[in-house]
Amino acid sequence: MELRNAQLQQSGWSQKLLQWVNLRAEESERTFLMFAFYTATSVGLIWLEAVTVGLFLDEYGAESLPLIYIAGAAVGSALGFFYEWLQEILPMRRSIVAIALFLAIPTALFRCGLELPALLSATIFGMRLWIDGAYVLNDLNTSITANQLFNIREIKRAYPIVSSGILMADVISGFSLGPLIKVIGLENVMLTACIMMVVGALLLFYLGETYSQAFPDSNLRTDEDRTDYTTRRLQGPLQPTSGYWSRSSFWSKPSTF
């Protein structure tokens, strides 16, 4: 009896929490996993950006910033086309994980490049270019993954929570960066940034495997898929362990974060 009362009390607290954040029970796991993925990846990117800015200003000075902003915009556009191409050759649930890992791999390579005096200047310049493109890829990955996991009604409730991951990342990275630099050094912060981005990729891999129905191998749906989805919508609320999530257009989402 005591165990049952504890379970009911815990369930009551869970329901209150879901009501406070305006979520339904079947949406909660997907939403908080997406929030955790976006937070972890953003923490890694913010750490990397802090290291990059410091090294870049020491090496090139502030007068080089206009040039780097122009070059960074070009790199971001090119990576956007790369993202679209990757989605054409890989199943979606594989491509989103591949992009998340792709954010982490150059970070480890840059750390190795900093140890080579002959490549130091080129490595720092490449890091500054990469950070702009990495933010573009992360935002694209987050938006498209959310579009697959939630239908148009769910996204209105879930996306504000997911997008607040960048705010949480700002807080975490702000409090942790100083102690990290003192303990492991400025350059080694890049390795911790790489680890955080790998953690984000693992969370995304878990999402893709758990909700594989939301990530079709093809970008096109058959008439049978649409009929099955319509039938499920008429039967009642969508559960996370069954069914096929709507791929309603997400291009009218809130402004890019």
Per-residue pLDDT tens digits for 102-138: 999 999 899 888 888 888 888 998 898 899 889 989 9
Residue 62 lies in a domain: yes
Residue 16 lies in a domain: no
Give residue-wise pLDDT tens across range 12-42.
Answer: 666 777 777 777 887 888 999 999 999 999 9
For tokens 């005096």, what's the residue?
117
Q: What is the CATH number of the domain that holds 33?
A: 1.20.1250.20
Residue 139 lies in a domain: yes
Task: Give the total number of structural domains in the chain.
Answer: 1
Residue 80 lies in a domain: yes
Residue 232 lies in a domain: no
User: Is-contact 237 24, C-beta < 8 A?
Assistant: yes
How wide is the angle at C-alpha 93 spanned by C-alphas 87 and 94, nearest 5°? 70
- DSSP code, position 205: H
How wide is the angle at C-alpha 227 spanned by C-alphas 229 and 216, nearest 5°? 55
- Dig out the tokens for 42 from the structure: 């953003």
Residue 90 lies in a domain: yes
Q: How would you write the pLDDT of the chain (257 residues) with one tens digit per residue?
A: 333 333 333 456 667 777 777 778 878 889 999 999 999 999 999 999 999 988 888 888 777 777 888 887 888 888 888 888 888 888 888 999 999 999 999 998 998 888 888 888 889 988 988 998 899 899 999 999 999 999 888 888 888 899 999 999 999 998 999 899 899 888 889 999 999 999 999 999 999 999 988 887 654 444 344 344 334 433 444 344 333 344 333 334 444 43
Residue 240 lies in a domain: no
- Domain holding 159, by residue range, is 27-212
Q: What's the rounded Cα separation, in Å, for the pair 169 and 190?
A: 16
User: Is-contact 194 112, C-beta < 8 A?
Assistant: no
Coil, strand or helix: which one is 216?
Answer: coil
pTM for this prediction = 0.76
Residue 192 lies in a domain: yes
